[in-house]
A and B are shown apart, each in its own frame.
Chain A
Amino acid sequence: MRGHEMEHVLEADGLGKRYGARWALRDCTLRLPAGRVAALVGPNGSGKSTLLHLAVGLLRPDAGAVRVFGNTPYENTAALADIGFVAQDTPLYRDFTANDLVTMAGKVNRRWDATLARTRLAQAGIPPRIPVGKLSGGQRAQVALALALAKRPRLLLLDEPVASLDPVARREFLRTLMGGVAESGTTVLLSSHILADLEHSCDHLVVLSSGAVQLSGAVDDIVGEHRRLVGPRHHGEPIGGVAAVVRARHTDRQSTLLVRATGRVTDPSWTVHELTLEDLILAYLSDGVTEATHEAWGVAA
């Protein structure tokens, strides 16, 4: 393995997955650098789970390739040893106790830190001898996270881990997660559609919509280079300091633009606004969503 390839924990090239005729993920190209805590953001059905399932080897790509630490993960137990995965809704055998699950994970993993698992479960206050089906959703998520972390993975993938948790449990979960990976330097890719949590936790962002990557990069860079411009009706002419117009919304006289800027926007006819991460993500995701199907409902638009 050449050195420069190893800097990227996760690499996808033209990655695609099809269910029947529908592409759940298409032409996805992505680089995730080591040590990042990355948020994978997108609406439901945008291909987040598909991407994660491809990365953990549950699915086999129909197009392109995905590599984790340079290996293709599908049917590759060597690659699996380096990946921790928490699936959506944190599935666990509900009749197993947390203690049973720790024993189980020890039997089905070559690298396994039982002490770490028990320590984390103790810290989270999980009762060891009660079937996990009787625990709260937040507690179950903590159990699933403890199991994933005790594999001592170099890459941790989490599929909507906090979606079904209440705000307190959600904050608690993210705190445990960040604490766990900060110690070990584990790279994290975490899918979510709850944006508010991500800003505090993540330093890397991947925006996925309609099965394609819309945006990918370090959060600081992304926030730093995007601006919202408000000014006169814009007809596509170049604006000084703007590399690209990402989204545009027009009224008769006025245009609101989301732009990627190369430097300062010098044109005085535009008012420049800074963007928060949440604004930015929503702007990227709103594309195509507003095309409401008035016609389909038989009402006037």
Chain B
Amino acid sequence: MIWLTWRQHRTQGLYTLLGLAALAAFIVPTGLAMRRDLDRLVGQRCATGGELCDRGMNEFIDTYSPLLHVAILLLAVPLLFGLFWGAPLVAREIEQGTHRMIWTQGISRRHWAWTKAGLLGGAVAVLAAGYGWGISWWYEPLQIRESRFTEVFFDVQGVVPVGYTLFAVALGLYAGTVLPKVMSAMAVTLPAYIAARLAVGMYARPRFMAPLNRSLAIDDHIEGMTGAWLMSTEVRQADGTRVTGGMMVCRPEGDGGLCAAAREMGLRPGAYNYQVYQPEGRFWTFQWIETGIFVAAAALLVWLAIRRVRRVA
């Protein structure tokens, strides 16, 4: 069975490695360049602080912010595994009728299915872990611009890619047992994966742990939060009523009063900025919770798929 799995999937394994190598060919040089420039523009200058430090930081951000768009593209990587590893796994056998050949040899279907799911799942998990680690390394310098905890950037690094990838593959596998055509299985895997990711990302993840909040006086110097996930920011009156989203930053005028712009907005003395956030220290907790959810869902789907395999003829 191990030989069969290797023989049957080595070609797609090779293509996957080529794809990941292409990704590495992009990530390694840009990652090294970012580190070099971060050290030159920010690291050395900001040791002493001052205007030179600010200028260097801006230059770094201007140069490398476009790379953040690349991170958005990387969201699709686990889905590709689901479409090209998961969906054809059983669907192609049934489409080409080869399930009737392999399931009538001397091994049980259950054995066949568990071996394949186990070996391919393991291989995919290792690839995804390497990929997640690589992206985490690459992203490190960009944190100066965008916290790694923020949506989208959280999703492409750390351990969550492993969870997403296993889930996508299991989803494709299950879809292939229900709709035994490769194209149909792919067509279902795509929207189902996106729906599951959105549901967890938008509704569940903000609630993994109760968020913290902080109130900040309206001032021209507001202490930033590095590495936190800022979930909402708003300007409030002294009594706590919301005035507007966003943050009011300006130099106070007079005796502890507000700046003109703030007064024009109708803010009264005592108004403040209010932020809801998940602190930086929770990053890995959130990573493991999210990974756990998707790994559990993947395990359930694999189990359902194998149950179905035993009924298909």
Give residues in A with beta carbon < 8 Å to B. Answer: 53, 56-60, 75, 77, 80-81, 83, 85, 87-89, 91-96, 100, 103-105, 107-112, 144, 151
| B103 in contact (CB, < 8 A) | yes
A109: chain B residues within 8 A (beta carbon): 105-107
Residues in B neighbouring A59, C-beta threshold 8 A: 313
B8 and A108 within 8 A (CB): no
Chain A residues with CB below 8 A from B97, complex form: 87-89, 91
Does chain A have a CB within 8 A of B241? no
Inter-subunit contact B3/A58 (CB<8 Å): no
Which residues of B (104-154) have their CB < 8 Å from a CB of A? Answer: 104-111
| B244 neighbours in A (Cβ, 8 Å) | none
8 Å CB interface, B75-119 against A: 96-98, 100-111
Q: Find out whether the CB atom of A108 lies under 8 angstroms from the CB atom of B109.
A: no
| Chain A residues with CB under 8 A of B214 | none
Which B residues lie at the A interface, using CB under 8 A?
1, 3-4, 7-8, 11, 96-98, 100-111, 310-311, 313
User: Complex: how many Å from CA A55 to CA B13?
Assistant: 36
**Which residue on chain A has the smallest CB distance to residue B97?**
A91
Given pairs A87-B97, A151-B106, 17 additional interface contacts (CB within 8 A)? A58-B100, A58-B103, A58-B104, A59-B313, A75-B310, A77-B106, A80-B105, A80-B106, A89-B97, A93-B98, A95-B11, A96-B7, A100-B7, A103-B7, A104-B7, A111-B106, A144-B101
- In angstroms, Cα B106 to Cα A111, docked, is 8
Cα distance A218–B148 when bound, in Å?
77
User: B residues within 8 A CB of A92?
Assistant: 98, 101
* Pair A75/B109 contact, Cβ less than 8 Å: yes
Quick one: closest B residue to A100, CB to CB? Answer: B7
Grouping DSSP codes into helix (H, G, I), strand (E, B) and loop, the A interface class, with mixed when no group exceeds half, is loop
Contacts of B3 in A (CB 8 A): 103-104, 107
Check B8–A93 contact: CB distance below 8 A.
yes
Q: For residue A144, which residues in chain B have a CB less than 8 angstroms away from its CB?
A: 101
What's the least CB distance linking A260 to chain B, in Å?
A: 35
A128 to chain B, nearest CB (A): 15
Q: Select one of A57, A60, A88, A93 contacting B104, CB under 8 A.
A: A57
| Count of CB-CB pairs between chains A and B under 8 Å | 71
28 A-B pairs (CB sep. < 8 Å): A53-B100, A57-B104, A58-B103, A59-B313, A75-B108, A75-B110, A77-B111, A80-B104, A81-B106, A85-B100, A88-B97, A88-B100, A91-B96, A91-B97, A92-B98, A93-B101, A95-B11, A104-B3, A104-B7, A105-B105, A107-B1, A107-B4, A108-B1, A108-B102, A108-B105, A108-B107, A109-B105, A112-B106
Which residues of chain A have C-beta atoms less than 8 A from B110's C-beta? 75
Known: A95-B11, A103-B3, A107-B3. A56 touches B104 (CB 8 A): yes
Chain B residue contacts of A58, Cβ below 8 A: 100, 103-104, 313
A95 to B191, CA, bound (A): 31
Give complex CA distance A60, B96 in Å. 21
Considering only CB atoms, which chain A residue lies closest to B105 in the complex?
A: A108
Measured between beta carbons, the chain A residues less than 8 angstroms from B313 are: 53, 58-59
Measured between beta carbons, the chain B residues less than 8 angstroms from A107 are 1, 3-4
B7, B96, B103, B106: which has the most chain A beta carbons within 10 Å? Answer: B106
Given contacts A103-B3, A107-B3, A107-B4, contact A91 B106 (CB under 8 A): no
Query: A77 near B108 (CB under 8 angstroms)?
Result: yes
A56 to B103, alpha carbons, bound, how many Å?
10
Residues of B within 8 A of A91 (CB): 96-98, 100-101
Give A88's nearest chain B residue, CB to CB: B97
Q: Which residues of B contact A110 (CB under 8 A)?
A: 106
Residue of A nearest to B101 (CB): A91
A75-B310, A108-B1, A108-B4 given; A94·B96 CB < 8 A: yes
Minimum C-beta distance from A19 to chain B (A): 10
Bound: A100/B96 CA distance, A: 18
Rounded to whole angstroms, the CA-CA distance of A85 and B108 in the bound complex is 15
- Whole-angstrom distance between the alpha carbons of A58 and B110 in the complex? 12
Give chain B nearest CB distance to A68 CB in angstroms.
Answer: 12
Write out the residue numbers on chain B whose beta carbons fall within 8 Å of the beta carbon of A95: 11
Which of chain B's residues have a CB closer than 8 A to the CB of A108?
Answer: 1, 4, 102, 105-107
From known contacts A87-B100, A94-B96, infer whether A104 and B109 are also in contact, taking CB-CB under 8 Å: no
Shortest distance from the beta carbon of B253 to any chain A beta carbon, whole Å: 76
Chain B residues closer than 8 Å to A56, beta-carbon distance: 104
CA distance A94 to B111 in the complex (A): 23
* Chain A residue contacts of B4, Cβ below 8 A: 104, 107-108
Q: In the docked arrangement, what's the CA distance between A57 and B311, Å?
A: 10
- Identify the interface centre among A85, A93, A105, A151: most chain B CB within 10 Å of its CB: A93
Tell me, in angstroms, the Cα distance from A89 to B106 when the chains sit together.
21
Nearest opposing residue in chain B for A50, CB measure:
B313
A60: B residues at CB distance < 8 A: 311
Query: Which residues of B are found within 8 Å of A93, using beta-carbon distances?
Result: 8, 98, 101
Which chain B residue shows the least CB distance to A56? B104
Residues in chain A near residue B98, CB distance under 8 A: 91-93
Rounded to whole Å, the gap between the CB of A188 and the closest CB of chain B is 15
Residues of B near A104 (CB, < 8 A) are 3-4, 7
Residues from chain A with a CB closer than 8 A to the CB of B104 are 56-58, 80, 83, 85, 87
Report Cα–Cα, A77/B106, bound state, in Å: 6
Report the nearest A residue to B92, measured CB to CB.
A93
Query: Which of B8, B105, B310, B313 has most A Cβ within 10 Å?
Result: B105
Chain B nearest CB from A129 CB (Å) reads: 14
